[in-house]
């Protein structure tokens, strides 16, 4: 396999990894993961918000304070390289968001759409330089009155925000045992 093909495969994987960090960042209220998905000078056109990535972070961090439950899934990632340092990336997403509305009532929304991203590679790292979120399906849902753990008799934990989610305990345990 040629070095150019190996570099392309590594770049594709780095772009996918960045998309996954975005999902962890937004779902787990993990500021470091969310920031690591964007270049500091990035622009985000994200539903009702349109502006700098920093402004988007402020909106997201405000939402995190309400203790929402979020889950994002990325599928159908199409990566088209413009040149060795830029790529147009279309990623389909499904997101379920549950949290209080403006009146404090429980609200649940199913969102399906696409992230239309311009990725740039700078100093060897791929991140989002420009994002436009295209919503192809929005559906208001009635959230369940009884929590999942109670309804289904779950013994394992329900997903939580950073640093309380089980993935962070696992990472911490593994990093301390490797010393």
What pLDDT shows up at residue 128?
98
Q: What is the mean pLDDT of the segment spanning 127-155?
A: 85
Which whole number is the average pLDDT over 135-154? 80
What are the backbone dihedrals phi and psi of residue 110, each rounded to the nearest 5 degrees, phi first? -100, 125
Which residue pairs, CB below 8 angstroms and at least 24 apart, start in 142-151? 142/108, 143/98, 143/106, 143/107, 143/108
Residue 133 β-bridge partners: 115
Convert the pLDDT of each residue in 152-172 to its tens digit: 776 666 778 898 888 898 877
Rounded mean pLDDT, 103-118: 92
DSSP class of residue 164 equals T
Given a cut of 70, whether residue 96 has pLDDT beyond it is yes
| Chain region(s) in the chain for CATH 3.10.450.50 | 3-143
Q: What is the pLDDT of residue 173?
A: 72
- Is 117:131 a contact under the CB 8 Å cutoff? yes
- DSSP letter at 120 equals E
Instruction: Please give the pLDDT value at position 156.
Output: 66
Q: Does domain 3-143 have CATH number 3.40.50.1100?
A: no
> What is the SS3 assignment for 96?
strand
pLDDT digit string, tens, across residues 15-49:
999 999 999 999 999 999 999 999 999 999 998 99
pLDDT surpassing 80 at residue 176: no
d(CA 160, CA 165): 4
Round to whole Å and give the CA distance between 130 and 20: 17
Average pLDDT, the chain: 90
Percent of the chain residues topping a pLDDT of 90: 64
Residue 50 has pLDDT above 70, yes or no: yes
């Amino acid at each position: 396999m040629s070095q150019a093909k190996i570099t392309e495969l590594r770049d594709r994987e780095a772009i996918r990894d960045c998309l996954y960090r975005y999902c962890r960042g937004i779902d787990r209220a993990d500021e470091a993961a969310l920031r690591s998905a964007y270049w500091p000078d990035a622009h985000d056109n994200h539903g009702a918000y349109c502006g700098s990535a920093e402004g988007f972070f402020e909106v997201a961090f405000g939402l995190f304070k309400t203790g929402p439950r979020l889950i994002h899934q990325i599928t159908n990632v199409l990566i088209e390289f413009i040149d060795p340092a830029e790529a147009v990336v279309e990623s389909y997403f499904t997101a379920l968001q549950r949290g209080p509305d403006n009146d404090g009532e429980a609200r649940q929304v199913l969102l399906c759409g696409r992230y239309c991203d311009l990725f740039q590679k700078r100093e060897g790292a791929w991140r989002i330089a420009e994002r436009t979120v295209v919503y192809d399906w929005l559906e208001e849902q009635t959230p369940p009155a009884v929590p999942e753990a109670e309804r289904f008799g779950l013994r394992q934990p329900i997903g939580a925000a950073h640093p309380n989610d089980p993935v962070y305990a696992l990472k911490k345990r593994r990093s301390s045992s490797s010393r």
